Structure 1
Amino acid sequence: MGDEPFWLFTLDVKPGKFDEFKSLVADIVASTLKEPGTLAYQYAVTEDKRSVHIYERYRDSEAFVVHVEQNFAGYADRFHSMVTVRSLVVYGEPNAKARAALDTFNATYMTLFDGFTRH
């Protein structure tokens, strides 16, 4: 069950930054759409536009590492200037290289023990 690791980020958007953040996210999503190993990459916002969730699912840990190193790295400084990461919950068993990137956000790791995924 360790295939296709996935996680949920919870972010707080800095006051007055949502419109700028939303524009940046549109660019990130368009770029991420070109990554064949990214299976799901979705943003959701609360009604007051202060809290955002990001759901990410990857074919495998290496696909995530490619996303971070070859795509997201170019957006990271602007992204982090507009939000604060409140939490990151990781499901599955990412490899050591993926965990090193996820650990920078004080990730909580959840081990899957039952269930299924349909495609």
Structure 2
Amino acid sequence: MSKNVIWAVEGSIKEGQRAALNTVMHDMIEVTSKEVGSLNYEWTLAEDGSTIHIYERYADEAAAKAHLTTWGKNAARFIAAVDISRVVIYSSVSEELKASFAGAVMMTPIGGFAK
């Protein structure tokens, strides 16, 4: 199975915070696109105009951990604009990485492939 580390973040944009979200999203996409091992970083918006999902895939756990440094630099701005409702991790990860995601839903891969 893939050694990729994959997670998704789900949340709702806070009232009056769409412009702030757009700013932090732009900044985070720009810096994440330059990270070694960052494979996917896709932000999507539901038809309701307030529900967002962010799909993230990293080459391995080292790349995922490196991204958490970027997250740490932007977390306060993101959390000021979004109420995070759920984080789902779709990979087997170390206890150290799990600890970075308190309350996340942990999914264990049981089959499939990545190309």
TM-score normalized by the length of structure 2: 0.93
Deviation (angstroms), 1:44: 0.2
After TM superposition, what 4+ stretches of structure 1 lie above 3 angstroms from structure 2?
none
CA RMSD, Structure 1 to Structure 2 (Å): 1.2
Q: Give unmatched runs, 5+ long, in structure 1.
A: none
Query: 1:17 deviation in Å?
Result: 0.8
Identify the residue that residue 10 of structure 2 maps to in structure 1. Answer: 10
CA distance in 2, matches of 1:114, 1:108: 18
Q: Deviations over 1:53-101 (max 9, x none)?
A: 00011111121111112x2211111111111110111111111221111
Deviation at 1:47, TM superposition (A): 2.3
TM-score of the superposition, structure 1-length normalised? 0.90
User: What is the 5 A alignment of 1:53-68?
Assistant: 53-68=53-68
Aligned length: 115
In the other structure, the counterpart of 2:74 is 75
Q: Report what 1:84 is aligned to.
A: 83
Identity %: 30
Give the CA deviation at 1:19: 2.0
Determine if contact 2:2/2:113 at 8 Å carries over to the other structure.
no
Structure 1 CA distance, aligned partners of 2:28 and 2:20? Answer: 13
Match of 2:105 in 1: 108
Match of 1:93, as an amino acid? S
